[in-house]
Structure 1
Amino acid sequence: MSEQKTWSQRFEGALHPAIARFNASIGFDIELLEYDLTGSVAHAKMLAKTGIISSAESDTLVKGLEQIRQEYRQGLFKPGIESEDVHFAVERRLTELVGDVGKKLHTGRSRNDQVGTDTRLYLRDRITHIRQQLKDYQQVLLQLAENHVETPIPGYTHLQRAQPISLAHHLLAYFEMAQRDWERLGDVYQRVDICPLGAGALAGTTFPIDRQYTAQQLGFSKLYANSLDAVSDRDFAIEFLCAASLILVHLSRLAEEVILWASQEFNFVQLTDSCATGSSIMPQKKNPDVPELVRGKAGRVFGHLQGMLTLMKALPLAYNKDLQEDKEALFDSVKTVSACLEAMTILMREGIEFRPNRLAEAVAEDFSNATDVADYLATKGVPFREAYNLVGKVVKTSLAAGKLLKDLTMEEWQSLHPAFEEDIYQAIAPQQVIAARNSYGGTGFDRVRNALESAREKMK
């Protein structure tokens, strides 16, 4: 049997070793150790400020807590299963260092509000870091876009050639997705930045604590107004997982496109050696492992989101042990999103090389300029729907003759409709097709340059 725990003298027997292992969270919540120390330092200072303990006792507690921080950073503090969780691990070591005064640290708080505080301190830091990673990723997309304003690329709907567009315009679409991700995380941060410390186990405390003081010490902008809500709320974690899932949705979409572009069928990009691997039996291959892994890892974060929603569904107030299960999902999602952002930033910066000649060929070898023929007729006074139907016949005739629209003779054009003139060839040239789409948000080169300006402003 395992040693008897220190929670209460109500228990006569010790916890079964298997149950002790099952119950323990120290294996993963050690991630929160420095945040637990930071929260405990603020709590110790507050206890002295309010006269609950003496200033000398508070100083002793703070000194002991900072010693534990140094021991941990030096690899000397490695609590095991006997500590159950990070909070007991710190309290136990503190008591070893400073004696019985260490037992006063827990006055006026519970592990319930303590873990909520630690988790929020952790997530605030990680959100700040991920937002910076998003900016780094955006910067790479922006630089690529600046280099490819007039590089054409086929635009697709239903994965069928639709209309030629500017490659910069395509890349800026992902820039805008990342901008929303950055803004969304900023919104989530506001809900993370609420302090539960002082809520106690569920009902507050009889001690004259100063919650405002500890919140200020820890840099929180607000306090939870309801103690029950404070210890049981995990909305902030779910919101983060939602935001993280959307980041992975966006990264996975670009990852899929890179995988397609790098295939022999598309051949729009070439993978560099720094971000590709080879086959164990097919020496000619370069495999797009980075985007494939990003595409695959998205499922992990989606799963954690679903798991967290299921965890919280129908959970009665206030704290329940179920909430211990929030941390592994949260920690893994943070690490996964961060790793995927780093990998995709490297991939887009140095892992692929666009092939402008192949892209130019691609936009010239299909009927993606058919809409422009209809637009051309509309500018000549032909009703658009009539023009649309006529162009459908033109495409059908051209396919039967094995010709592209650019290959039709003037006589063939005029036999289809007398409104066609020599300027039809210029109107359906890929570069002109792109340049002409100058509506706000469009792919026209002038519009794209304006969009680049706007994107630069967002990066400031």
Structure 2
Amino acid sequence: MKLWAGRFQKETDTLVNDFNSSISFDARMYKEDIAGSVAHAAMLGKQGIIEAHEAEKIIGGLQAILADIEGGRVEFSLENEDIHMNIETMLTQRIGDTGKRLHTARSRNDQVAVDFRLFVKEEIPQMIAQVLDLERVLIQKAKANLETVMPGYTHLQRAQPTTFGHYMMAYANMLKRDVTRLEDCLERMDECPLGAGALAASTYPVDRFATAAALGFRKPTDNSMDSVSDRDFAIELLSACSILMMHLSRFSEEIILWCSWEFKYVELDDAYSTGSSIMPQKKNPDVAELVRGKTGRVYGSLVTLLTVMKGLPLAYNKDMQEDKECVFDAIDTVKMCLPVFTAMLDTLTVKEKNMHRAAAGGFINATDCADYLVKKGMPFREAYMIVGRLVNMCIKTGETLDTLPLKDFRSVSGVFDADVYQALELKTCVNGRKVYGGPAKEAVERQIEAIEQFVRERT
């Protein structure tokens, strides 16, 4: 018989029972459910709501169930719908009627709310640790490539010279924001809904501050209706995960381009590539492509939960059972992607000569040529027009700005002198950009120091 069967004259139809059940996925919250129940039982005993010896018996029974679950000696029942009713049924079977006292002053509404928060609270630090591992690899790559000149792009067109180290720090700063978003989510959700009951708390003298402290929460939630109907913390987590995956997807796209023959800026390690079943020459960036593909899956989880919640009146509604699978899947996906992406990046080889060769073409020092004229006293817009004429001249003659004869420079403007070639050297162009945040070696070193400090503070 179901724990809630008193009101009903008929057994639940098998189709409804299967449709209603969530044990197939919420079973993974067994530790959180037992932890919440232990805290609740201890509070009930301390407050005199149940006898102290009853509380002790309940806690002992719950701890034995936990050991049996982790020892693989428990099979959950579909008949009992969810993890809460499965554990409570097992408890009553083991310790008798005393087990029925556990649910005093509690509802499955506040029970699932606390289980879910405890689960997410446990997962967020694990994801943060994985992001910090990726940050460490980015730091190493940046340090090794402070002077590895490569083209920077806008509109996927070669634009201005930068370095691979500077490029790595761009992603390091994106991931830094991802960490802080996850930390913000963790801080905001650090409130305990246990004791809120179904929606209107309880007439029993429950101590919500005691259960919050026992479960490691900063404080209890402030409103009982909000406590059981709030899933903002899960939506925030999915949003943070979606942005994180967007960053990994952008990075994956660059790696996919860079390891193509058209670019050949990097080469992936054989251990993080795959081949073709028909084309023996192929070396495919499957890890990066899968990360890019799985990003859409995480986005889907966010849209799922936003859509589930958008029309729900207060307080709890059964629709909210749809919250867990999307969150579980997003967490699993992020935690699967981060380590393999980190290892792929750590083992790739940077093709410095190819990067430099690409940087030497495409006139990416054209802005520096204009700046050369400006520093000689010419207005920028006039300098811009002159350099545009020079680029056209180079295209027609097959030259670059670096190889264009001085007489051709001077045919367009007498301001040019022999020192223009030094100004147009790629390393000169890069290291002249010493502005805070720029690609010059000393500027990137400052960026690395900042990210290293950020990582150290969280280690």
Match of 2:380 in 1: 384
Q: Does the alignment pair 1:337 with 2:334?
A: yes
Q: CA RMSD in A?
A: 0.8
Q: What is residue 426 of structure 1 aligned with on the other side? A: 422
Query: Aligned equivalents of 1:448 and 1:46: distance in 2?
Result: 54
Partners of 1:78 and 1:280 in 2: CA distance: 42
Deviation for aligned residue 1:238: 0.5
Determine the C-alpha separation between the residues in 1 that align with 2:111 and 2:119.
Answer: 12
- For 1:280 and 1:349, locate their aligned partners in 2 and report how far apart those are by CA, in whole Å: 27
Counterpart position of 1:230: 227
* Counterpart residue number, 2:448: 452
Task: Give yes or no for contact 1:148–1:166 (8 Å, CA) kept in 2.
Answer: yes
Equivalent residue for 1:7, pick from 4, 7, 10: 4
Superposition TM-score, scaled by structure 2 size: 0.98
Question: How many residues in Structure 1 have an aligned counterpart in Structure 2?
Answer: 456
Structure 2 residue 400 is matched with structure 1 residue 404: yes
For residue 78 of structure 1, report the CA deviation from its aligned partner. Answer: 1.9
Q: Once the two structures are superposed, what CA deviation does each residue of 1:316-347 show, in whole Å capped at 9, x if it has no partner? A: 01000000000000100111111111121111
Moved over 4 A (4+): none
Tell me the residue number matched to 2:319: 322
Whether the 8 Å contact between 1:437 and 1:443 is mirrored in structure 2 is yes
Residues 116 and 196 in structure 1, CA contact (< 8 A), matched pair in contact too: yes
Query: After superposition, where does 1:64-213 map in structure 2 within 5 Å?
Result: 64-213=61-210
Matched, 1:40 2:33: no
In 1, the alpha carbon distance for the partners of 2:451 and 2:234 equals 30
**1:353 corresponding residue in structure 2:** 349
**Does the CA contact (< 8 Å) of 1:123 and 1:192 recur in 2?**
no
**Cα distance between partner residues in 2 of 1:392 and 1:252:** 35
CA deviation profile, 1:348-402 (whole Å, cap 9, x unmatched)? 112x111111111111122111001000000000100000011111101110111
From 384, 388, 410, the counterpart of 1:414: 410
What is the DSSP-based 3-state SS (H/G/I as helix, E as strand, rest coil) of the residue aligned with 2:162? strand
Q: Match of 2:151, SS? A: strand
State the secondary structure of the residue aligned to 1:405: coil
Q: Is the CA contact (8 Å cut-off) linking 2:25 and 2:325 kept in structure 1?
A: yes
For 2:75 and 2:2, the matched residues in 1 are separated by 19
Shift of 1:8: 3.2
C-alpha distance in 2 between matches for 1:136 and 1:76: 36
Give the secondary-structure state (helix, strand or coil) at the position aligned to 1:459: helix
Q: Aligned with 1:153: secondary structure?
A: strand
Q: For 1:443, which of 425, 439, 457 is the aligned residue?
A: 439
Task: Deviation per CA, 1:109-131: give whole Å up to 9, x if none.
Answer: 00000000000000001001111
What secondary structure does 1:225 align onto?
A: coil
> Does 1:258 find its partner at 2:250?
no
Provide the rounded CA distance (Å) in 2 between the counterparts of 1:55 and 1:167: 65
Aligned pair partner of 1:245 in 228, 242, 262: 242
Question: Could you tell me how far 1:153 is from its partner in structure 2?
Answer: 1.3
Distance in 2 between the 1:38 and 1:72 partners?
Answer: 14
Mapped partners of 2:385, 2:261: distance in 1? 35
Which runs of no fewer than 5 residues in structure 1 stay unpaired? none
Shift of 1:444: 1.1
CA contact (8 A) 1:188 1:239 kept: yes
Residues in 1 aligned to 2:131 and 2:420: alpha-carbon distance in whole angstroms: 44
Alignment correspondent of 1:27:
24
Q: CA deviation at 1:42?
A: 0.4
Asked if 1:371 is matched to 2:370, the reply is no
Aligned to 1:393: 389
Deviation larger for 97-106 or 320-329: 97-106
Q: Distance in 2 between matches of 1:122 and 1:103?
A: 25
5+ long unaligned stretches in structure 2: none
Equivalent AA in structure 2 for residue 389 of structure 1 = M
- Structure 2 equivalent of residue 218 of structure 1: 215
1 CA distance for matches of 2:278 and 2:268? 19
Partner of 1:275: 272
SS of equivalent to 1:406 = coil
For residues 264 and 165 of structure 1, the distance between their equivalents in structure 2, rounded to whole angstroms, comes to 21
Q: 1:301 aligns with which of 298, 301, 312?
A: 298
CA distance in structure 2 between the partners assigned to 1:108 and 1:333 by the alignment: 33
Structure 1 counterpart of 2:384, which letter? Y
Q: Deviations over 1:95-153 (max 9, x none)?
A: 11111101111011000000000000000010011111111110011111111000011
Q: How does the TM-score come out when normalised to structure 1?
A: 0.98
User: Which letter does structure 1 place at the counterpart of 2:443?
Assistant: R
TM-superposed CA distance for 1:191, in Å, is 2.0
- Give the distance between the partners of 2:112 and 2:451, measured in 1 at CA: 40
1:313 matched to 2:310: yes
Cα distance in structure 1, aligned partners of 2:37 and 2:415: 81
Aligned 8 A contact 2:3 2:85 in 1:
no
Aligned partner letter, 2:83: V
